[in-house]
Amino acid sequence: MRKNISLLILINAVFMTVSQGDYKSNEVFCSIFTGVTNSYGKRLEKSSNETTINNNYKMNNTNSFNGVAVGYFHRCQNNFSTAIEGTIAYDSFSSTCSVNQIDGCDYNLTLNSRSNITLGMRAKLGFVCCEKWFLYCLLGTQTLNVEYKVNTVAIAGPDYYNGAKSKRLYGFVCGLGVERAISEHWRLGMEVHHVTYQKIDINPDMQSYSRLNTRLKALTALAKLSYSF
Protein backbone atom coordinates (compact mmCIF):
# COMPACT_ATOMS: atom_id res chain seq x y z
CA MET A 1 0.00 0.00 0.00
CA ARG A 2 2.75 2.49 0.94
CA LYS A 3 4.61 1.59 -2.25
CA ASN A 4 1.56 2.48 -4.32
CA ILE A 5 1.13 5.83 -2.57
CA SER A 6 4.84 6.64 -3.02
CA LEU A 7 4.58 5.74 -6.69
CA LEU A 8 1.60 8.08 -7.09
CA ILE A 9 3.62 10.94 -5.57
CA LEU A 10 6.64 10.19 -7.77
CA ILE A 11 4.58 10.04 -10.96
CA ASN A 12 2.86 13.30 -10.03
CA ALA A 13 6.27 15.00 -9.63
CA VAL A 14 7.40 13.75 -13.02
CA PHE A 15 3.99 14.68 -14.40
CA MET A 16 4.64 18.36 -13.67
CA THR A 17 8.24 18.60 -14.93
CA VAL A 18 8.63 16.52 -18.10
CA SER A 19 8.76 17.93 -21.62
CA GLN A 20 5.55 18.17 -23.60
CA GLY A 21 4.02 16.78 -26.77
CA ASP A 22 0.76 17.33 -28.63
CA TYR A 23 -2.55 15.50 -28.90
CA LYS A 24 -3.41 14.24 -32.37
CA SER A 25 -6.87 14.16 -33.92
CA ASN A 26 -7.22 10.38 -33.67
CA GLU A 27 -5.20 8.00 -31.52
CA VAL A 28 -5.35 4.38 -30.46
CA PHE A 29 -3.71 4.01 -27.05
CA CYS A 30 -2.79 1.46 -24.43
CA SER A 31 -2.18 2.26 -20.75
CA ILE A 32 -0.86 0.78 -17.56
CA PHE A 33 -2.09 2.16 -14.24
CA THR A 34 -1.51 1.75 -10.53
CA GLY A 35 -3.28 3.22 -7.53
CA VAL A 36 -5.24 2.60 -4.36
CA THR A 37 -8.91 1.81 -3.91
CA ASN A 38 -11.15 1.96 -0.85
CA SER A 39 -14.06 -0.49 -1.06
CA TYR A 40 -16.85 0.07 1.44
CA GLY A 41 -20.52 -0.57 2.09
CA LYS A 42 -23.29 -0.62 4.67
CA ARG A 43 -25.62 -3.44 5.53
CA LEU A 44 -29.34 -3.21 6.07
CA GLU A 45 -30.97 -5.81 8.31
CA LYS A 46 -34.65 -6.71 8.32
CA SER A 47 -36.51 -9.15 10.53
CA SER A 48 -39.34 -11.40 9.35
CA ASN A 49 -41.86 -8.59 9.94
CA GLU A 50 -39.85 -6.34 7.56
CA THR A 51 -38.81 -3.99 10.37
CA THR A 52 -35.40 -2.42 9.82
CA ILE A 53 -33.15 -3.29 12.74
CA ASN A 54 -29.80 -1.69 11.89
CA ASN A 55 -28.14 -0.20 8.84
CA ASN A 56 -24.90 1.10 10.36
CA TYR A 57 -22.66 -1.95 10.05
CA LYS A 58 -19.83 -0.90 7.78
CA MET A 59 -17.71 -3.07 5.51
CA ASN A 60 -14.40 -1.44 4.62
CA ASN A 61 -11.20 -2.48 2.84
CA THR A 62 -8.30 -0.55 1.24
CA ASN A 63 -5.91 -2.19 -1.20
CA SER A 64 -3.95 -1.66 -4.41
CA PHE A 65 -5.62 -1.29 -7.81
CA ASN A 66 -3.41 -2.17 -10.79
CA GLY A 67 -4.23 -2.92 -14.40
CA VAL A 68 -4.13 -2.13 -18.10
CA ALA A 69 -6.42 -0.35 -20.56
CA VAL A 70 -6.87 -0.13 -24.33
CA GLY A 71 -8.85 2.60 -26.05
CA TYR A 72 -9.43 5.16 -28.79
CA PHE A 73 -9.08 8.97 -28.52
CA HIS A 74 -10.77 11.47 -30.88
CA ARG A 75 -10.11 15.21 -30.91
CA CYS A 76 -12.57 17.53 -32.65
CA GLN A 77 -11.64 20.82 -34.33
CA ASN A 78 -12.95 22.90 -31.41
CA ASN A 79 -10.72 20.93 -28.97
CA PHE A 80 -13.71 19.05 -27.59
CA SER A 81 -12.41 15.48 -27.22
CA THR A 82 -13.79 12.05 -26.49
CA ALA A 83 -12.28 8.68 -25.69
CA ILE A 84 -13.52 5.18 -25.03
CA GLU A 85 -11.53 2.49 -23.23
CA GLY A 86 -11.78 -0.99 -21.82
CA THR A 87 -9.95 -1.88 -18.60
CA ILE A 88 -8.90 -4.97 -16.70
CA ALA A 89 -7.56 -4.59 -13.16
CA TYR A 90 -6.54 -6.59 -10.10
CA ASP A 91 -8.64 -5.63 -7.07
CA SER A 92 -8.85 -7.72 -3.89
CA PHE A 93 -11.69 -7.00 -1.46
CA SER A 94 -12.47 -8.90 1.73
CA SER A 95 -14.49 -7.89 4.77
CA THR A 96 -16.32 -9.64 7.61
CA CYS A 97 -18.62 -8.12 10.20
CA SER A 98 -21.11 -9.34 12.79
CA VAL A 99 -24.79 -8.55 13.11
CA ASN A 100 -27.14 -8.14 16.04
CA GLN A 101 -29.77 -10.77 16.67
CA ILE A 102 -32.43 -11.21 13.99
CA ASP A 103 -35.23 -13.66 14.77
CA GLY A 104 -33.18 -15.28 17.54
CA CYS A 105 -29.95 -15.72 15.55
CA ASP A 106 -26.55 -14.09 15.28
CA TYR A 107 -25.02 -13.63 11.83
CA ASN A 108 -21.53 -13.05 10.44
CA LEU A 109 -21.39 -11.84 6.84
CA THR A 110 -18.16 -12.26 4.84
CA LEU A 111 -17.90 -10.56 1.45
CA ASN A 112 -14.86 -10.88 -0.80
CA SER A 113 -13.87 -10.68 -4.45
CA ARG A 114 -13.79 -14.16 -5.90
CA SER A 115 -11.39 -13.79 -8.84
CA ASN A 116 -9.75 -10.45 -7.84
CA ILE A 117 -10.33 -9.23 -11.42
CA THR A 118 -12.49 -6.24 -12.38
CA LEU A 119 -13.51 -5.48 -15.95
CA GLY A 120 -14.60 -2.02 -17.07
CA MET A 121 -15.80 -0.03 -20.05
CA ARG A 122 -15.94 3.76 -19.92
CA ALA A 123 -16.32 6.88 -22.03
CA LYS A 124 -14.36 10.09 -21.46
CA LEU A 125 -15.61 13.56 -22.39
CA GLY A 126 -13.42 16.66 -22.12
CA PHE A 127 -11.23 19.30 -23.73
CA VAL A 128 -7.65 19.56 -24.93
CA CYS A 129 -6.10 22.69 -23.38
CA CYS A 130 -2.92 24.42 -24.59
CA GLU A 131 -2.31 21.49 -26.95
CA LYS A 132 -0.75 19.57 -24.05
CA TRP A 133 -3.49 18.77 -21.54
CA PHE A 134 -6.59 16.61 -21.72
CA LEU A 135 -9.09 17.39 -18.95
CA TYR A 136 -12.04 15.03 -18.79
CA CYS A 137 -14.90 13.47 -16.90
CA LEU A 138 -15.71 9.79 -17.31
CA LEU A 139 -18.80 7.61 -17.19
CA GLY A 140 -19.00 3.87 -17.56
CA THR A 141 -19.61 0.48 -16.05
CA GLN A 142 -17.52 -1.99 -14.08
CA THR A 143 -18.06 -5.60 -13.07
CA LEU A 144 -16.69 -7.68 -10.20
CA ASN A 145 -17.37 -11.29 -9.22
CA VAL A 146 -17.90 -11.54 -5.45
CA GLU A 147 -18.43 -14.37 -3.01
CA TYR A 148 -20.56 -13.94 0.09
CA LYS A 149 -20.94 -16.27 3.05
CA VAL A 150 -23.28 -16.03 6.03
CA ASN A 151 -22.56 -17.97 9.21
CA THR A 152 -25.78 -18.33 11.20
CA VAL A 153 -25.55 -19.17 14.89
CA ALA A 154 -28.86 -19.82 16.61
CA ILE A 155 -29.25 -18.61 20.19
CA ALA A 156 -31.47 -21.60 20.95
CA GLY A 157 -31.42 -24.70 18.78
CA PRO A 158 -29.19 -25.83 15.90
CA ASP A 159 -27.38 -23.56 13.48
CA TYR A 160 -29.55 -22.91 10.45
CA TYR A 161 -27.22 -22.31 7.52
CA ASN A 162 -23.58 -22.12 6.61
CA GLY A 163 -22.44 -21.73 3.03
CA ALA A 164 -21.03 -19.52 0.30
CA LYS A 165 -22.54 -18.16 -2.88
CA SER A 166 -21.11 -16.08 -5.69
CA LYS A 167 -22.61 -13.24 -7.68
CA ARG A 168 -21.37 -11.05 -10.52
CA LEU A 169 -21.94 -7.41 -9.65
CA TYR A 170 -22.32 -4.62 -12.18
CA GLY A 171 -21.67 -1.03 -11.18
CA PHE A 172 -21.89 2.54 -12.45
CA VAL A 173 -18.58 4.44 -12.66
CA CYS A 174 -18.07 8.21 -12.69
CA GLY A 175 -14.94 10.28 -12.19
CA LEU A 176 -12.52 13.01 -13.22
CA GLY A 177 -9.07 12.88 -14.75
CA VAL A 178 -6.23 14.83 -16.34
CA GLU A 179 -3.58 13.77 -18.85
CA ARG A 180 -0.49 15.51 -20.17
CA ALA A 181 1.25 14.76 -23.46
CA ILE A 182 4.96 14.45 -22.65
CA SER A 183 6.15 13.44 -26.12
CA GLU A 184 4.73 12.51 -29.49
CA HIS A 185 3.48 9.16 -28.21
CA TRP A 186 3.64 9.17 -24.41
CA ARG A 187 1.08 10.57 -21.94
CA LEU A 188 1.01 10.74 -18.14
CA GLY A 189 -2.26 10.94 -16.25
CA MET A 190 -3.98 11.07 -12.88
CA GLU A 191 -7.56 9.92 -12.29
CA VAL A 192 -10.12 9.58 -9.50
CA HIS A 193 -13.30 7.57 -10.00
CA HIS A 194 -16.13 6.12 -7.93
CA VAL A 195 -18.14 2.97 -8.59
CA THR A 196 -21.47 1.94 -7.07
CA TYR A 197 -22.36 -1.73 -7.52
CA GLN A 198 -25.82 -3.24 -7.51
CA LYS A 199 -27.32 -4.37 -4.21
CA ILE A 200 -26.80 -7.90 -2.90
CA ASP A 201 -29.88 -9.40 -1.23
CA ILE A 202 -29.24 -12.28 1.16
CA ASN A 203 -31.51 -14.69 3.01
CA PRO A 204 -29.18 -15.66 5.89
CA ASP A 205 -31.04 -18.82 6.84
CA MET A 206 -33.39 -21.11 4.99
CA GLN A 207 -36.05 -21.31 7.71
CA SER A 208 -37.11 -17.69 8.21
CA TYR A 209 -37.87 -14.55 6.25
CA SER A 210 -34.99 -12.53 7.67
CA ARG A 211 -33.06 -10.46 5.14
CA LEU A 212 -29.65 -8.86 4.89
CA ASN A 213 -28.52 -6.72 2.03
CA THR A 214 -25.44 -4.71 1.21
CA ARG A 215 -24.33 -2.39 -1.56
CA LEU A 216 -20.60 -2.34 -2.28
CA LYS A 217 -18.96 0.90 -3.42
CA ALA A 218 -15.36 1.84 -4.20
CA LEU A 219 -13.36 5.07 -4.49
CA THR A 220 -10.13 4.79 -6.52
CA ALA A 221 -7.19 7.14 -7.17
CA LEU A 222 -4.63 6.10 -9.76
CA ALA A 223 -1.73 7.22 -11.93
CA LYS A 224 -1.29 5.96 -15.46
CA LEU A 225 1.17 5.93 -18.32
CA SER A 226 -0.19 5.70 -21.87
CA TYR A 227 1.31 5.12 -25.28
CA SER A 228 -0.56 6.34 -28.38
CA PHE A 229 -0.19 4.90 -31.86
* Whole-number pLDDT of residue 7: 56
For residue 45, count other CB atoms closer than 10 A to its CB.
Answer: 22
Q: What is the pLDDT of residue 192?
A: 98
Would you kindly state where each structural domain of the chain is located, as residue ranges?
A: 2-228
Percent of the chain whose pLDDT exceeds 90: 43
pLDDT number for residue 53: 54
- The correct CATH number of 2-228 out of 3.30.2310, 3.30.450, 2.40.128, 3.30.70 is 2.40.128
The pLDDT value recorded for residue 52 is: 52
- Given this model, what pLDDT does residue 129 score? 92
Give the per-residue pLDDT at 41: 79
The pLDDT of residue 97: 64
Segments of the chain with pLDDT less than 70: 1-21, 43-57, 96-109, 150-163, 203-212
